[in-house]
Amino acid sequence: MNRLIHPLGTAFIAALIFLTSCVERELPIPARTPGSANLIQANVGVDYETQLFFSLTENRIEASCQQRDWCIALREAEGATSLMTNSGRAMKTYHTEAIDFHSSINFDALEDDKWEVMDPTGMAGDANVGLELVANELTLVDLGLDEENEPLGIARVGLIGLDDTGWLLQIADAQGLNTDTVSVPKLDGCEWHQVSLLNSSAHQVEPPASSWEVCITQYMELLDGEIPYLVVGLLTPTDRVQVYETREVDWETWKTNSWDDLEFSPEWNAIGYDWKIFDLSTSAYTVDYDKLYCVRTEEGREFLMRMLDFYDANGNTGNVTFEVLER
């Protein structure tokens, strides 16, 4: 499963098929009263380095972090360990099938099409879809790009322990030197558990799953289903949330009509990035105001969302503005 990147940054497709690209960004948020539309601004920074975890139910940012704060995240699913990479850094993984953590690796001989990029649709509750960390197998992790779009190198990762309390990882640099073991505890209420391979430590950035619905971030999209490209958008990487998109933009109708027969999507990028369009002739973004998003949580809360802007008052990108109304 080879995935892709999509940069929505100030440079467009200058981003290469595997990680040499531009990046997107977004903004912050005010307070709301259920039943009324609220104007939200969420700022991920001009360099798109900030990730925001936003609660629609509480109308606030529950947590934020920098792209550099974490590299991978783990989740147990049906006895297996699902692996999420921080695709906002254009990361990818390679299963070596080697059991010896210190195996000699000829990096020049690694096949490009065997590097895997995180599927932007997510795993949709299926442990057999997406990336996986296999016990006692050497996995290579390309750490992606830093804030200056410079490569951060490659790390070795091995899953050497898993029980009810968490995971035990073995980590080293590309050559198998500077080896560390990292304990990653399972935290109550958290769906994914983040790890920094740069600092060889567990580093939880995601708040408890019940406290947020939308992550505003830069991430890797797959253009035409196969070309990796860095973009900025809204993700719903939690099993609690599903989304339905419509072009029938009438708040009054959608406030009262039945949603029972709508086909909601569990895909993480159901809102995604394409509510904005980059015009090569003007080198500027425009927003597609004709898209309306119906968001439903597993608790039965229902929200209408419409994207409004990607610029701040000074013309800087990365300022994501949208309105939200709870039915």
- Residue pLDDT, tens place only, 9-43: 333 333 333 333 333 333 333 333 335 678 999 99
Give the DSSP H/E element, type plus range, for residue 66.
strand 60-66
The Cα–Cα gap between 233 and 240 comes to 19
Give the CA distances from residue 39 to residues 131, 150, 159, in Å, rounded to whole numbers and listed in that order.
Answer: 36, 36, 44
Report if residue 258 sits inside a domain. Answer: no
The answer to whether residue 225 scores a pLDDT higher than 80 is no
The Cα–Cα gap between 225 and 141 comes to 22
The Cα–Cα gap between 22 and 278 comes to 13
Q: Are 54 and 60 in contact (CB under 8 A)?
A: yes
Report if residue 160 sits inside a domain. Answer: yes
The Cα–Cα gap between 151 and 130 comes to 24
Say how many C-beta atoms besides its own lie within 10 A of residue 69's C-beta: 18
Q: Which among 71-80, 126-135, 307-316 has the top mean pLDDT? A: 307-316
Say how many C-beta atoms besides its own lie within 10 A of residue 43's C-beta: 21
Nearest to 304 by CA among 316, 295, 312: 295
- More confident: 5 or 293: 293
pLDDT-derived band at 125, boundaries 50, 70, 90: very low
Q: What is the pLDDT of residue 38?
A: 86
Report if residue 82 sits inside a domain. Answer: yes
Mean per-residue pLDDT, 75-104: 92
The Cα–Cα gap between 66 and 46 comes to 13
pLDDT-derived band at 227, boundaries 50, 70, 90: confident
Provide the domain count of the chain.
1
The Cα–Cα gap between 146 and 69 comes to 11
Q: Are 55 and 207 in contact (CB under 8 A)?
A: no
Report if residue 103 sits inside a domain. Answer: yes
Amino acid at 21: S
Residues linked to residue 164 through DSSP beta bridges, in sequence order: none
- Give the pair of three-digit tokens for residue 46: 């001009």
Query: Strands 154-163, 317-326: parallel, antiparallel or unpaired by DSSP?
Result: unpaired
Say how many C-beta atoms besides its own lie within 10 A of residue 78's C-beta: 9
**At 259, phi and psi to the nearest 5?**
-105, 5
The answer to whether residue 4 scores a pLDDT higher than 80 is no
Report if residue 211 sits inside a domain. Answer: no
Q: Are 61 and 42 in contact (CB under 8 A)?
A: yes
Report if residue 313 sits inside a domain. Answer: no
Give the CA distances from residue 93 to residues 86, 110, 117, 139, in Å, rounded to whole numbers and listed in that order.
Answer: 11, 12, 7, 7
Write the secondary structure of 138-197 as one string of H (helix), E (strand) and C (coil).
CEEEECCECCCCCECCEEEEEEEEEECCEEEEEEEECCCCCCEEEEEECCCCCCCEEEEC
- Helices assigned H by DSSP within the chain: 251-256
Nearest to 230 by CA among 221, 242, 240: 221
Report if residue 139 sits inside a domain. Answer: yes
Burial of 47 (0-12, 13-18, 19+ CB in 10 A): middle
The Cα–Cα gap between 27 and 222 comes to 24
The answer to whether residue 151 scores a pLDDT higher than 90 is yes
* Domain boundaries, position 87: 68-202
The Cα–Cα gap between 308 and 26 comes to 12
Report if residue 320 sits inside a domain. Answer: no
Say how many C-beta atoms besides its own lie within 10 A of residue 119's C-beta: 21
Mean per-residue pLDDT, 170-193: 97
